[in-house]
A = this chain, B = another copy of it.
Amino acid sequence: MPEFFHDNKLYYTPIEFALNHIGGTWKMPILWRLQKTILRYGELKKDIPHITHKMLTSQLKELEEKGLITRTVYPVVPPKVEYSITPKGLQAIPVIEHIMKYGYELIKEAGIDYPPKK
């Protein structure tokens, strides 16, 4: 696995390159919500528990820069901004599905009560 440069950043493996697109705590949850619906900033914020304003903004920006989502601004007051997934974003959905499924397996095997019955 030789390394390579892209966008002024060094990557060691294809895995690292992939995780740079969809890795981290929030990118997959965001893409997951957008896979079938267009959502406004505030809707995403409400839908994703515990994500902070700063993280949501920065992650949305990164996803847009990488071409996985599209940002549409409506010139009205108060502002209205919609986020939608692109074909390139849709390409990540099957991968996310696998990772999520793997996560559920691990949770089950760990004997964790999930989702927790209150």
Chain A interface residues toward B at CB < 8 A: 1-4, 6, 12-19, 21, 23, 25, 28-29, 48-50, 88, 91-92, 94-96, 98-100, 102-107, 109-110, 112-116
Contact = CB atoms under 8 A, between A and B. Distances in A.
Contact of A99 (B3, B12, B29, B95): B95
A12 B38 CA distance: 23
A23 B17 contact: no
Contacts of A110: 6
A6 B107 CA distance: 9
A98 B92 CA distance: 10
B112 A91 contact: no
Given A15-B100, A98-B94, A102-B95, A115 B6 contact: no
